[in-house]
Amino acid sequence: MIGRFAPSPTGPLHFGSLLAAVASYCEAKSQDGQWLVRMEDLDKPREMAGAADHILRTLEAFGFEWDGEVVYQSRRSSLYQDALSQLQKKSLIYQCDCSRKEIADAYNQRPAQHGIDGLIYPGTCRHKAKIKLPHASRVVVDSNPIAFTDAIQGNIQQNLAHDIGDFVLKRADGLYAYQLAVVVDDFVQEITHIVRGADLLDSTPRQIYLQQKLNYPTPQYAHIPVASNTAGEKLSKQTLAPAIDVGQAPILLIQALSFLGQQPPNDLSTNSLSDIWLWAKQHWGIKKVPRQRSITFNPS
């Protein structure tokens, strides 16, 4: 089995991203699998200078050992272009020059339809004769339900036409979209087990749809609850989640294991970092992770 951790270098590692790293690492290493690290640095404008190196140094200080070289999405555009061309050949791609306002206005007096990830694209450009520059590339979706069983969250089903609409694979500014890049990389890197935050659960059907259209296998998914602050907001750079302090690595690792439902014994904190990892790998069980999309993290 091959797992991965795929941080976006928009800021230093915080407790929320540590959880995804710990869970994906334990899932792979408890089964003698490989664990790869991939920097999702496609969105250069959102990137924070030095964050990628900082994340890698933090992972190292925590004792994570990744297999192979770290992959950087910013260096893999030709792979994403190849996949886009494959979809183009199947007539699944069209160009779109709609602005956000035009998308909202396209609903013509009717209230704009909000899906689970913003406005549902009403297909305006599907049959438009002339598209202005700059334009995005969208993939055509259909209304066949996409269903999968998540190892933590259970059975999930989505209807892309109803819940999302045709979605963007390449943005008007020329950047490849996360949904395309993640699917291509998970395939090229032969990832079999994806463990990540439940904030991405709603993206998974879009990714499975692309896998189906590109004839890629679908990996096994497990979405862990995201950590939220006491105001109910997901810990993230936007909510000013503090960077994790590597000086506190043993206690943070125990807090992460505890958040993930693994019930580490009280006296584990007197152990060295490597002994805590040993315990974690020996006792890891994905089925012990709580079946919730979000849990308040309140370190005591």
Give the footprint of ligand GLU on this chain (CB under 6 A): 6-8, 40, 182, 196, 200
Task: Report, in Å, the least distance between residue 182 CB and ligand GLU.
Answer: 5
The distance of closest approach from Cβ of residue 109 to ligand GLU in the complex, given in angstroms and rounded to an integer, is: 37
Q: Residue 4 annotated as binding?
A: yes
Q: Is 98 annotated as a binding residue?
A: yes
- Of the pair 46, 126, the CB lying nearest ligand GLU is at 46
Q: Determine whether the annotation assigns residue 94 to a binding site.
A: no
Distance of CA 206 to the CA centre of its chain: 12
- Comparison of 172 and 200: residue with beta carbon closer to ligand GLU: 200
Question: Is 8 a known ligand-binding residue?
Answer: yes
Q: Does 104 belong to an annotated binding site?
A: no
Angle made by CA atoms 282, 286, 287, in degrees to the nearest 5: 115
H helix or E strand, kind and range, residue 135 = none
Nearer to ligand GLU, 191 or 257 (CB): 191
Please report the beta strands in the chain, taking only residues with DSSP state E, as ranges in sequence order: 2-5, 34-39, 71-72, 93-96, 114-115, 118-119, 136-139, 146-150, 154-158, 167-170, 193-197, 220-224, 226-228, 294-296
Q: Which is nearer to ligand GLU, 196 or 293 (CB)?
A: 196
Return the SS3 of 189.
coil
Eight-class DSSP state of 120: P
Ligand-binding annotation for 280, yes or no, is: no
- Measured from the CB atom, the residue of 125 and 158 that comes closer to ligand GLU is 158
178 annotated ligand-binding residue: yes
Task: Report the residue number, 6 or 125, with the smaller CB distance to ligand GLU.
Answer: 6
Shortest Å distance, C-beta 196 to ligand GLU? 4
Whose Cβ is closer to ligand GLU: residue 41's or residue 163's? 41
Q: Least distance in Å: CB of 46 to ligand GLU?
A: 11
| Shortest spacing between CB 217 and ligand GLU, in angstroms | 16
Residue identified by tokens 């951790």 is: 5
Question: What is the rounded distance in angstroms from the CA atom of residue 142 to the CA atom of residue 168?
Answer: 15
Query: In this structure, which amino acid lies at residue 70?
Result: V
Closest approach of ligand GLU to the CB of residue 287, in Å: 21
Residue 10 Cβ vs ligand GLU, minimum distance, rounded to whole Å: 8
Number of Cα atoms under 13 Å in the Cβ half of residue 235: 25
Query: Over the range 130-166, which residues count as b (16 or more CB within 10 Å of their CB) and which as e?
Result: eeeeebbbbbbbeeeebebebbbbeebebebbebbbb
Contact between residue 264 and residue 242 where contact means Cβ atoms under 8 Å apart = no
State yes or no: 125 annotated in a binding site: yes
Residue set of the binding site for L-glutamate: 4-8, 40, 178, 196
Residue set of the binding site for Zn(2+): 96, 98, 121, 125
Residue set of the binding site: 4-8, 40, 96, 98, 121, 125, 178, 196, 237
